[in-house]
């Protein structure tokens, strides 16, 4: 379930405050087993990241069934939960990430992201 993409392009642009804060995005996706929602969420997340943060993001998928203690440590209730560890501040998005606009708002990527990839990712099945 792990996917790692090194940053290959440093595409800083004006009007992108979140991206500007960090070169490296660390995202964690908390799931509880390989449920359809978990799979959907991961796929959606990958698509969004590829579109928006190509090459400079890192997704870690954490299965709470394997590490239940982590749910307590990170105050996870709802699954799937996407946590943006970096850049700060920490942001949480819950759900299967099927509403791209909400994801972009949540990740603070909304301004340019909403126009570009709106409606593309829903129901995507590919997995890395």
- Shorter beta-carbon distance to other proteins: residue 2 or 72: 72
Out of 27, 42, 79, 109, which residue is the one contacting other proteins (CB under 8 A)? 79
List the x/- string, 24-43, binding to other proteins by CB under 8 A.
------x-xx-x-x--xx--
Q: How many CB atoms lie within 10 A of CB 42?
A: 24
Out of 8, 10, 75, 126, which residue is the one contacting other proteins (CB under 8 A)? 75
Is 117 among the residues that bind other proteins (CB under 8 A)?
Answer: no
- Strand-strand pairing, 57-63 and 25-31: parallel
Q: How many chain residues interact with other proteins (CB under 8 A)?
A: 36
Residue 63 and residue 119 in contact, taking contact as beta carbons nearer than 8 Å: no
- Shorter beta-carbon distance to other proteins: residue 23 or 118: 118
Q: Which residue has the tokens 């440590």?
A: 73
How far from 46 is each of 70, 73, 126, CA to CA, in Å? Answer: 23, 25, 9
How far from 111 is each of 16, 30, 31, CA to CA, in Å? Answer: 8, 26, 28
Is 109 among the residues that bind other proteins (CB under 8 A)?
Answer: no
Query: Taking the complex as a whole, how short is the minimal distance between the CB of residue 73 and other proteins, in angstroms?
Result: 10
* Region at 39 (left for phi over 0; alpha for psi -120 to 50; beta for the rest): alpha
Where along the sequence are the contacts to other proteins (CB under 8 A)? Answer: 30, 32-33, 35, 37, 40-41, 44, 64-65, 68-69, 71-72, 75-81, 90-100, 102-103, 105-106
């Amino acid at each position: 379930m792990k996917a790692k993409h090194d940053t290959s392009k440093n595409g800083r642009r004006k009007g992108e405050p979140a991206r500007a804060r960090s070169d490296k995005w660390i995202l964690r996706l908390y799931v509880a087993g390989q449920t359809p929602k978990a799979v959907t969420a991961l796929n959606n997340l990958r698509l969004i990241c590829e579109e928006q943060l190509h090459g400079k993001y890192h997704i870690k998928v954490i299965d709470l069934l394997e590490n239940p203690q982590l749910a307590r440590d990170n105050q996870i209730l709802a699954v799937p939960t996407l946590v943006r560890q970096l850049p700060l501040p920490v942001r949480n998005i819950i759900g299967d990430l099927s509403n791209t606009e909400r994801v972009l708002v949540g990740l603070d990527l909304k301004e340019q992201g909403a126009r570009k990839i709106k409606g593309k990712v829903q129901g995507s099945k590919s997995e890395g």
